[in-house]
Amino acid sequence: METEFIFWSAFLFAIGYWLCGHLLGNAQFLWEILILMLKWILLIMYQMACFQLYFGNRSFDSRVSEISRSVAICFLIAAIVQLIFVKNSLVPNLQSDFKIVAHRGSDGNNGVPNTIPTLKDSKKKLSPDYSELDVRQTLDGRFVVIHDAMLANSSGKEREVNNLSLGDLIEHKVKESGHSAYLSGYSQYLEAAHQIKQPLITEIKTDEHDNYDLAAEFCHLYADSMIDHGDMVHSMDYRIIDNVKKSEKRLKCGYVLPFEIFSMPKGAIDFYSIEYLTMNRSFIRAAHNQKKKVYVWTVNNKLDCLRACAIGADGIITDNGSKLKCFLKTATKDDFSLGCFINSYATLK
């Protein structure tokens, strides 16, 4: 009796933890929550029956009868059916047009992110479907490839990027994780990418000092070349995306979401880039109903990659493209089981 109490307590704690962390965050409708709860109840019953089938009366008292064996067999059949369902639902996603996007152009620790040497090295090692990068407008109205709004000089003093000219910025050498490289203007970066035939997703960064006319200036300078080479843009600032579309409808634009939104924008958005902690099947289904793709960022381990595939994302933005690309190739050949699929939440790190 004491063993049974410990066993059930452990299971209920695990289920409660899972519900708080995943179920309520991923299911948006009451019926989805009820169905998922039912699945977990059935799973508990199956594991209890298997436990009894294997151990007999050594752990639990004699109240559990021979019916447990029949229950175990029934749930084993159900697990096999679930295996077929899981495998058939996952593998087509893995084998379809699932995109690998190199976050800031990097692949593992292969160089300074957002620099041309790293872009070229990732192309050789990974050849991602897209290489993602960040740009900001400079004091003289040009664009520089950089993520942060502030840049530290040699004396350690920080200055705002939009208060520096492009000429000043490209003389700055950036160091990270044992690598170093010079910043580059976006024109130079774009030319380098097009020479090696690497499609880009460019994130247009803004802050409170930026003028939203920069979207029109960006399109005037780069849109034709980007369209010719299959490049895209995205931004966390919806006004930027809206202005880009007004300036050049042909250029594909995405909306970067750090969290899930309750209603889809009705503007001319071509895709969404959503943070992986808030990704869920309901959002992706709604986006697909609008004929919009969904990319998940920043996915750096097998667990999140598998989840993104399972819920129907169109691709991942990752710092570990080679590692996850290899994993996806292997996963298409593996036999997915119900247990492996559930346990992947804990073991596929």
Query: Nearest CA to 336 among 88, 146, 4, 59?
Result: 88
Question: Two tokens at 107?
Answer: 């692949």
Crossing angle between the packed helical segments 302-310 and 67-95, to the nearest 10 degrees: 90
Q: What is the pLDDT along the chain (349 residues), one digit of tens a residue?
A: 445 555 555 555 555 544 544 444 444 444 455 665 666 676 666 666 666 655 555 544 454 455 555 555 665 565 555 555 544 444 444 546 899 999 999 999 999 999 999 999 999 999 999 999 999 999 999 999 999 999 986 656 789 999 999 999 999 999 998 999 999 999 999 999 999 999 999 999 998 878 888 999 999 999 999 999 999 999 999 999 999 999 999 999 999 998 766 667 777 899 999 999 888 888 999 999 999 999 999 999 988 888 888 888 999 999 999 999 998 888 754 433 333 454 344 333 4
User: What's the half-sphere exposure (Cβ side, CA atoms, 13 Å) at 176?
Assistant: 14
Helix, strand or coil for residue 140?
Answer: coil
CATH 3.20.20.190 maps onto the chain at 99-347
For 99-347, CATH number out of 3.40.50.510, 3.30.1240.10, 3.30.420.40, 3.20.20.190 equals 3.20.20.190
User: What's the half-sphere exposure (Cβ side, CA atoms, 13 Å) at 267?
Assistant: 19
* Cα–Cα distance measured from residue 231 to residue 253, given in angstroms and rounded to the nearest whole number: 10
* Cα–Cα distance measured from residue 17 to residue 19, given in angstroms and rounded to the nearest whole number: 5
Q: Report the sign of the C-alpha dihedral through residues 67, 69, 72, 73, in that order.
A: negative
The alpha helices in the chain, defined as continuous H runs, are 2-18, 24-26, 30-55, 67-95, 116-125, 166-169, 186-195, 214-228, 238-247, 281-289, 302-310, 321-331, 338-347
